[in-house]
Structure formats: C-alpha cells, structure tokens
Amino acid sequence: MRRLLAIMMLMLGATVLTGCGVSIPADPEGTLDRVSGGVLRAGASPSDGLVDVDVRTDTVSGPLADVVDGFARSRGARVEWTVASEEELVDALEKGRLDLAVGGITDATPWSDRVSVTRGFPGIPGADGRSVVLLLPMGENALQSALEAYLDDAPWQGEEAP
C-alpha cells in the first residue's frame, strides 16, 4: 500500500511540475526580455587590444565592444556603456545596474564567485590566445545562453587565434 501511495505521489508531483510552464534557461530578473528591443547596460574596463576607451568622451571601441554591440543589435537593443574598473563593474552587476561587463577578463577570473562567467572564447580578435570571458549577473541564464549562442556563431569562431 505504501509503495502504491509513493508511486501516486511521484506521478502527481511530475504532473504538477510539468504544468508549471517554467522555461529553461530562465532569467529570474527577466534581463533578456528587458534587453530585447530595449537597452543593454554594458560595462567596460579598458584592456589593450580588446577594449579601448576614449577618456574624453567615454566612447568604447575594440573587439569586445564590437561583440557587445553586435549582440545588442541581434536582440533589437542599443547599448549604454559604463566605463569603470573590473571591481566597480562586478559591484554594478551584483546590484543589478549592469547587464554584462567586458574587459581583459579570462576564464581564470577571480570574480566567478560573485558574478556569472561565460565560457572562454580564445578566438576573439585581440585576445592573443587568452580565453576571454564576459561577466553577467548571477542566475541570468537565458541572457547568458543567448550571448554564448551569439558568440558561438561569430565569424571569427573556428579560426586560430593570432
């Protein structure tokens, strides 16, 4: 009798969970939905060969800026840049003031206990073989999945790093 009751409870639980309508990956804060067709709040930390910043105008350029701009365009969004140190960018990601951050950050980053880190991408122009990562708010998995899929389809993927 107990075995039958246990099986029925498992079946009921499976039925309830199936009807939840939860999509995976999900963004608890809805970042990907908010960004799509809106504004992508990006942070940049200057890094030679990857992120250049004109200090007079706070204009961000370079290969990683191109990646962020391209990803934003693919989502129908525009980018608002914040230029700061890596530590300030990580703080802003934790507090929900930024959607992603770039710089000369590699897959050996010490920030992985505070923010989410993409897979490493050594083929990014200017990376010089380093496995470059982008930082995102912890738990925003749909945003991270979309960004990594965009990076996987980048024209430089599959090429040897210079």
Q: What are phi and psi of 116, to 5 degrees?
A: -80, 145
Whole-prediction pTM: 0.80
State the residue for tokens 């210079």. 162
Residue 158 covered by a domain? no
Question: Using one digit for the tens of pLDDT, what is the confidence trace for 114-153?
Answer: 999 999 999 899 999 899 999 999 988 899 999 999 999 8
- Reported for 52-55, long-range contacts at CB under 8 A and 24+ positions apart, including other chains, are 53/83
In a domain, 15, yes or no: no
Q: What is the CATH number of the domain that holds 95?
A: 3.40.190.10
**Res. 19: pLDDT tops 80:** no
Query: Phi and psi dihedrals of 16, rounded to 5?
Result: -65, -45
What pLDDT, in 10s, does the model give residues 21-34?
Answer: 445 566 566 788 89
> What rounded mean pLDDT belongs to the chain?
85
The whole domain housing 57 covers 34-152
Distance, in Å, from the CA atom of 23 to the CA atom of 67, rounded to the nearest integer, reads 26
